[in-house]
Structure 1
């Protein structure tokens, strides 16, 4: 098997099993978590409408970087470049993509009317893999926490040890009475 076929198989298998991908549009400062479905060789998304996820920066003909996470552990599995395409509403490609998305959309307010609303008010996008997978990053990609005066560690109140000792003593007495 060639490296291209192995990359393609890894991308497809990871995207099929995960319901969430991280997408960074070309020129965007950070990636955004988006729910998706894998359909006919592409990550398919719906958004930019009322009650739907934002697809900021993703434009027809543009590029994006897609990172697929593990469904069970949440860690990064694979990152790949993708080309963005927006099928025309009502086209056979759009209909097939929407049929897949509709089956995976959770908590939709309008049920069977959803495809019509998507055609009127939303964008349906396909992110097609376009190149080899990115190598695994060196070190952690976690962002440092934002500075804050909030804290979770404080000294315990002076009276707490006595209070806890009294509770233990009461429990011990109850257990002794039961015997």
Structure 2
């Protein structure tokens, strides 16, 4: 009993304090093979009424791949200090219908956390028309910390990393700074 209460408290506090959670559709026992990996996505959320709430799958919003009403998901939460995994917990997925009291309460919490919304105060109406609101409720099960790193190759993308700085650039920058200081 005490162990379950401690797990519940860890889940709630860690998830409440984290800006992002990593979510994968499926249960704790379904460890995906590297070739058929179900994507784990970083998603912004809000902790409200004992669950994590997510909004997405609409234009300009985060994707919620595989999170189906009545399904299961695994939520991984990192620590704010070092960014390491604190806890992975099993969740029951529930999609909320727009306009219900629970939907209204969750949207009230979510709209304060949504950064850079293109439509400001009209955002809740857009969410009702075009997006899904998902509740991830902890089932009480947590996963043991993995023994391996779980590192995987990045998903193929057109994105690139920065190129090396040209060798002459630092000299040019420092030369200009020196002139300003003397003048």
TM-score over 0.5 for the alignment?
yes
CA RMSD of aligned residues (A): 2.7
Partner of 1:5: 5
Alignment of 1:1-179 (within 5 A): 2-26=2-26, 29-144=38-153
Q: CA deviation at 1:88?
A: 1.1
Q: CA deviation at 1:144?
A: 4.8
Q: CA deviation at 1:51?
A: 0.2
TM-score, normalised to structure 2, is 0.77
With 134-143 and 107-116 compared, the bigger mean Cα shift is at: 134-143
> What is the distance in 2 between the residues matched to 1:80 and 1:96?
24
Partner of 2:178: none
- What do the CA deviations read for 1:1-30 (whole angstroms, capped 9, x no partner)? 611111100000001110100100027623
Per the alignment, do residues 64 and 145 of structure 1 end up closer, same or farther by CA in structure 2, a change over 3 Å counting? closer
Partner of 2:163: none
Q: How many matched pairs?
A: 155
Unaligned runs of 5+ in 1: 147-159, 172-179
> What is the distance in 2 between the residues matched to 1:99 and 1:72?
29
> What is the distance in 1 between the residues matched to 2:9 and 2:154?
36
Q: CA deviation at 1:87?
A: 1.4
Unaligned runs of 5+ in 2: 31-36, 156-166, 176-183
Deviation above 3 Å: which 4+ runs of structure 1?
A: none
Q: CA deviation at 1:132?
A: 2.0
Q: Decide whether the 8 Å contact of 2:8 with 2:140 is kept in 1.
A: no
Which one has the largest radius of gyration?
1
- What do the CA deviations read for 1:86-118 (whole angstroms, capped 9, x no partner)? 111000000000011000000000110000000
> What is the distance in 2 between the residues matched to 1:145 and 1:19?
22
TM-score, normalised to structure 1, is 0.78
